[in-house]
Structure 1
Amino acid sequence: MHSERAGRGTAGLERGDPLNWNDFSLRQLAHFVAIAETGTISGAAERLFMSPSALAASLAELERSLNANLCVRRRSHGVTLTPVGRVVLRGAKTLLGDASELSYLARGNAAELVGPLVVGCFVTLAPTVLPPLLEAFEAQHPKVTVDFVEGDQITLQEKLIEGELDIAVMYDLDITADLAALVLYEPRAYALFATDHPLASAESVSLEQLAVEPLALFNQPPSAHYAMSLFKNRDLVPLVRHRTQTLELTRSLVARNLAYAILVQRPRNKSSYEGRSIVEKEIRPAVEACPVILAWPRDATPSPRARAFAQLAREQYAS
């Protein structure tokens, strides 16, 4: 007679036991994730190069195995996840990620990292932060396939939480509690002028002086919020003349003396795209710092590749 302990082993589980791995497969979970992400069975079938009928059958089998309805299907309206489906989706992504990590571990060794790494970066930080980090990381870990995504603060956070990014470089402003973070460095805002602006010859400038001058507001979140908060903290209202979406347009407007700007990033090139000179001036008294951080999902365990990237970034920005 088999003991109870032996009967509870993986091979001896009875059908219906919640630990029966034979009830569903990683492939079925991958099919379900694709359906959830595309919102339709036909869209998921196109992504996975499968027939819609085969994908629908896979989903139905997964639901039977879990004894739960994961989606509500509406003709011409795609699928909507049920509350249980949303829970299963999070777990499915975790299981699929763990399975991928096993594959990468098997292909590498203790001293070698293998697999993908997707790094996000705030759009204005990317030109100065990403290249040196990517160059050093790829030299240390040549078998890691590194990709990156530039975006605004809101988009990067959404992609981190959804698992589309492993890690991201951004500002420590309006960060959701769902993310953990490591501070890389702590820059402060400065004022940018054309060389013939009246304040360009000053040693430093005050927010009171700036408030009455026309401002080119870099309108990418959270940059605009940070700049406006500096004035608000001193009960000032700046004179916003232009709102821009790119750093270089902001600098070009400044270089033509159409406005000044308040920025955080300090490119080594002290001229605009047109080759016109611009001048950086410190703001007095010193304004609140705007930390640059490395962020990742708080509830997810970073992959070995993400941990290696974080370690490299910590070393490069160590003071």
Structure 2
Amino acid sequence: MSEPPAPPRFSLRQLAYFVAIAEAGTLTEAAERLHISQPAVSLALNDLERALKVQLCVRRKAHGVTLTPSGTSLLVRARRLLREAEELEAEASGGGALTGVLSLGCYVTLAPTVLPPLLQGFASLHPEVTVDFAEDTQDVLQRRLLRGELDLAVLYDMDLMPEMERTVLFSVRPHILLPADHPMAGLTEVSLRALEAEPMVLLDAAPSSHHALSLFHRFGVTPRVRHRPTTFETARALIGRGMGYGVLVQRPANDRTYEGMHVVVKEIAEPVREEAVVLAWPRSMRLNRRAQEFVGHCRRNGPAPAS
């Protein structure tokens, strides 16, 4: 008969305190978030380092806490263990109402139209779940997914890492955005080649810029990029003022900018493919119950693209 495995020399509480320290950046801030004393947090960190026989943090009075390479590695696994422990507790108690925090990321241009219906629908089913969401570019969101900082993220199916699993929410075709008084505003569709000599407003938020430029490259057109805004609404504002045209994927229903300028959507004359909007998560990550329920909700009730 084999010997039972020895219990670990550290506790889940110590791991939770370590994660709080890593996320807060200082012991004092971590203590405030945990509603305990700073010495208690410091003691838990010392005990965890002693149990694991490795230094996890470098502590500097004026600069807070910096994770060592061992600490950075542990942070990912600690988050995973804490999620699994929470799931185990929920399953052992018979399930019941879904509670806790779901961490969701969303690509910046998709957030205004995709997040509200998803969050509202999920909240009606699971009112005791808090959904914390972060808006950022796809490269940043994917790194945060792999670090265990996010459970799920709404992204375009562009430049996704091979480590990502995904489920498609909807697809949408790229379009040209013109100021309302543009000479081609009355056309049904506009060719990319017809815009080659005009100034372009290029949304510079990965992967939008790469995607837009690749469309031109595919048809042998070289655009004249004049402005590179990093936000969707700034791009629309510049276009509305007649400072260039844009090639975008997201289609808000509102045809006005913040300043009240009108913009018009025109189909691209060239044969461009639709782009999928997906819900993504790391293949190596076991989804907790909240994330599983959110994925199921999205598959059943995914938002339609704005038009």
TM-score for the superposition, normalised by structure 1: 0.83
Once superposed, what is the RMSD of the aligned Cα atoms? 2.7
Tell me, in whole angstroms, the C-alpha distance in 2 between the residues paired with 1:43 and 1:102: 29
Tell me, in whole angstroms, the C-alpha distance in 1 between the residues paired with 2:113 and 2:75: 36
**Residue 8 of structure 2 is aligned to residue 26 of structure 1:** no
- The answer on whether the counterparts of 1:108 and 1:114 sit within 8 Å (CA) in structure 2 is no
CA displacement, residues 7-56 of structure 1 (integer Å, 9 cap, x when unaligned): x34xxxxxxxx6324x2211122233334445555554555455555444
**Residue 50 of structure 2 is aligned to residue 64 of structure 1:** yes
Deviation at 1:195, TM superposition (A): 2.6
Deviation at 1:154, TM superposition (A): 2.4
Deviation at 1:162, TM superposition (A): 2.2
Give SS of 1:310's match: helix
Shift in alpha-carbon separation, 1:99–1:236, aligned structure 2, 3 A: same
Unaligned runs of 5+ residues in structure 2 are: none
1:28 corresponds to which letter in structure 2?
Q
Tell me, in whole angstroms, the C-alpha distance in 1 between the residues paired with 2:69 and 2:263: 55
Deviation at 1:276, TM superposition (A): 3.3
**Residue 278 of structure 2 is aligned to residue 293 of structure 1:** yes
- Find the counterpart in structure 2 of residue 198 from structure 1: 183
Tell me, in whole angstroms, the C-alpha distance in 2 between the residues paired with 1:292 and 1:156: 14
Deviation at 1:196, TM superposition (A): 2.1
Match of 1:166 among 151, 155, 173: 151
Tell me, in whole angstroms, the C-alpha distance in 1 between the residues paired with 2:157 and 2:182: 32
Match of 2:220 among 235, 251, 266: 235
**Residue 55 of structure 2 is aligned to residue 101 of structure 1:** no
1:266 corresponds to which letter in structure 2?
R
Tell me, in whole angstroms, the C-alpha distance in 1 between the residues paired with 2:75 and 2:244: 49
**Residue 101 of structure 2 is aligned to residue 89 of structure 1:** no
Unaligned runs of 5+ residues in structure 1 are: 10-17
Deviation at 1:296, TM superposition (A): 1.0
Shift in alpha-carbon separation, 1:141–1:286, aligned structure 2, 3 A: same
* Higher deviation after alignment, 268-277 or 121-130: 268-277
Deviation at 1:283, TM superposition (A): 0.8
Q: Choose between structure 1 and 2 for higher RCO, CA contacts under 8 A separated by at least 6 residues.
A: 2
Tell me, in whole angstroms, the C-alpha distance in 1 between the residues paired with 2:22 and 2:259: 47
Shift in alpha-carbon separation, 1:155–1:72, aligned structure 2, 3 A: closer
Match of 2:239 among 254, 277, 284: 254
- How many residues are matched? 303
- The answer on whether the counterparts of 2:114 and 2:303 sit within 8 Å (CA) in structure 1 is no
Deviation at 1:314, TM superposition (A): 1.6
Give SS of 1:109's match: coil
Deviation at 1:79, TM superposition (A): 5.7
Map residues 134-149 of structure 1 onto 2, 5 A cutoff: 134-149=119-134
Deviation at 1:238, TM superposition (A): 0.6
CA displacement, residues 246-279 of structure 1 (integer Å, 9 cap, x when unaligned): 2223223222322111111111122223333322
Match of 2:291 among 297, 300, 306: 306
Shift in alpha-carbon separation, 1:189–1:47, aligned structure 2, 3 A: same
Deviation at 1:87, TM superposition (A): 4.0
2:20 corresponds to which letter in structure 1?
A
Q: Percent identity?
A: 47
Shift in alpha-carbon separation, 1:130–1:25, aligned structure 2, 3 A: same
Deviation at 1:133, TM superposition (A): 1.1
1:310 corresponds to which letter in structure 2?
V
Q: Which of structures 1 and 2 has the bigger CA Rg?
A: 1
Give SS of 1:186's match: strand
Tell me, in whole angstroms, the C-alpha distance in 1 between the residues paired with 2:180 and 2:66: 57
- The answer on whether the counterparts of 1:123 and 1:151 sit within 8 Å (CA) in structure 2 is yes
Tell me, in whole angstroms, the C-alpha distance in 1 between the residues paired with 2:229 and 2:303: 33
- The answer on whether the counterparts of 2:84 and 2:288 sit within 8 Å (CA) in structure 1 is no
Tell me, in whole angstroms, the C-alpha distance in 1 between the residues paired with 2:24 and 2:17: 11
Give SS of 1:198's match: coil
Tell me, in whole angstroms, the C-alpha distance in 2 between the residues paired with 1:170 and 1:214: 28
- Find the counterpart in structure 2 of residue 282 from structure 1: 267
Deviation at 1:93, TM superposition (A): 2.0
Shift in alpha-carbon separation, 1:43–1:178, aligned structure 2, 3 A: farther
CA displacement, residues 127-150 of structure 1 (integer Å, 9 cap, x when unaligned): 111111111111122222222222
- The answer on whether the counterparts of 2:200 and 2:226 sit within 8 Å (CA) in structure 1 is yes
Tell me, in whole angstroms, the C-alpha distance in 1 between the residues paired with 2:57 and 2:147: 21
CA displacement, residues 161-199 of structure 1 (integer Å, 9 cap, x when unaligned): 222221110112222223221122221211111232111
Tell me, in whole angstroms, the C-alpha distance in 2 between the residues paired with 1:97 and 1:177: 23
Match of 2:142 among 157, 168, 172: 157
Tell me, in whole angstroms, the C-alpha distance in 1 between the residues paired with 2:30 and 2:95: 34
